[in-house]
Amino acid sequence: MDDLAKLEAQAEQYARDGDAQAAVKCFCDLVAGYARAKNFPKAEALRERLMAVDDMALTEIIKTAEIIETEKSNAIDQDHVNAFKALYDTLTEEETNALYFAQEPLVLEAGEVLYRQGDINTRLFFILHGHLKLYFSREGKDNLIATLEQGAIAGQDSFFGSTLCTTSLAVQSSAELQVIERQKVAAWKESVPALEAKLQQFCHKQDVGQLVTKKGLERRMCRRIKVEGPVVAQLLNASQQPMGKPFRGDMADISNSGLSFCIKATDKSARMLLGRLLHIKSTLEAGGKRQKIERTGVTVAVTPLFFGDFSIHIKFNRPLKSS
């Protein structure tokens, strides 16, 4: 590594002196050296530096990209790929490398909980070894949905969608996992733009809702009713004091335990409501009667619709009386 450090200093000196040809050659050698040493972040950073020095050195730019991808492919643990073969079979070599190297190892002991019902989760879990319990709680009772083992993926509902966790995930025996943080996905948009959609499509095959239905379980405690009416929502802070101005929406449905309504907003603004406390006021019309609704609740899901519309799902802190 000392030799590489000296070579990098030499490359920078060539760049300062205006000798782009000599600098590019040094940067090519540096990319190859760090890639062979499996220091891929450094190799990629040096390739970016090469492009900054001479963005017309196309042969070298392409060659260094190929070197990095080849060395990444050689470094991949084939046991991991085999455990998720059905997923990796759908990916290109570049997508395989991007997905694999976005993951971090996680070792857990029995009894540890990765997320709980009602949490915000930003991680996707790939199970390599061990057993994990996926369950939901209702009326103080834990209901087992599935026992997950090697080859299963967990956390997809809250990872891909703006929703609080509707289930809990706990370790039953010592387990080894690989984990992707949500922020890593943003880096794929330019280099491997199809990867997120492919991963989401594969995860949909292990959808929690489908597992619940298959097992004949029911998570909802209250029946939803389709209703119409204006909604005024006020964002609250942790002390339940108003923050900013109230905003308006249109009611979609309601139950004793919560409601959903639609708003127009930017993607960023709508998703910022997840997990936040709102005070809701509305006057509903159902069966020829008008009824005023006023409740405080937490935003448990934000679902994009069309043309800047979002569905906001609220769970009341205190249920409505049946009527």
The confidence score (pLDDT) of residue 37 equals: 93
Tell me how crowded residue 246 is: count the other CB atoms within 10 A of its CB: 14
The confidence score (pLDDT) of residue 305 equals: 84
The confidence score (pLDDT) of residue 246 equals: 94
The confidence score (pLDDT) of residue 142 equals: 86
The confidence score (pLDDT) of residue 304 equals: 84
Grouping H, G, I as helix, E, B as strand and the rest as coil, residue 278 is strand
Answer yes or no: are the C-beta atoms of 215 and 145 closer than 8 Å. yes
Residue 267 pLDDT exceeds 60 = yes
Confidence bin at 1 (pLDDT 50/70/90): low
Lowest mean pLDDT among 210-219, 222-231, 274-283: 210-219
Which helix (H) or strand (E) segment holds residue 277: the answer is strand 277-286
Answer yes or no: are the C-beta atoms of 176 and 149 closer than 8 Å. no
Structure tokens at 183: 């922020």
**DSSP string spanning 75-137?**
HS-HHHHHHTHHHHTTS-HHHHHHHHHT-EEEEE-TT-EEE-TT----EEEEEEES-EEEEEE
Find out if CATH 3.30.390.30 is the number for domain 78-214.
no
The confidence score (pLDDT) of residue 186 equals: 85
Residue 300 pLDDT exceeds 80 = yes
Confidence bin at 218 (pLDDT 50/70/90): low
Grouping H, G, I as helix, E, B as strand and the rest as coil, residue 151 is coil
Residue 71 pLDDT exceeds 80 = yes
Residue 322 pLDDT exceeds 70 = no
The confidence score (pLDDT) of residue 138 equals: 81
Residue 6 pLDDT exceeds 90 = yes
Answer yes or no: are the C-beta atoms of 169 and 153 closer than 8 Å. no
Stretch 190-216: mean pLDDT, rounded? 79
Q: Provide the percentage of residues in the chain whose pLDDT is more than 90.
A: 66
In sequence order, the 6+-apart residues with CB closer than 8 A to the CB of 12 are 23
Residue 207 pLDDT exceeds 80 = no
Structure tokens at 33: 């050296």
Answer yes or no: are the C-beta atoms of 288 and 294 closer than 8 Å. no
Lowest mean pLDDT among 37-51, 60-74, 284-298: 284-298
Residue 219 pLDDT exceeds 60 = no
CATH architecture of the domain with range 225-316: Beta Barrel (2.40)
Answer yes or no: are the C-beta atoms of 293 and 230 closer than 8 Å. no
Lowest mean pLDDT among 32-36, 170-174, 290-294: 290-294
Question: What span, in angstroms and rounded, lies between the C-alpha atoms of 90 and 199?
Answer: 9
Stretch 316-322: mean pLDDT, rounded? 83
The confidence score (pLDDT) of residue 166 equals: 87
Stretch 238-255: mean pLDDT, rounded? 91
Distances (CA, A) of 296 to 194, 233, 235, 319, 320: 40, 9, 10, 10, 11
Confidence bin at 306 (pLDDT 50/70/90): confident
Which helix (H) or strand (E) segment holds residue 201: the answer is helix 195-204
For the chain, give the mean pLDDT.
89
Confidence bin at 88 (pLDDT 50/70/90): very high
* Annotated domain spans of the chain: 2-75, 78-214, 225-316
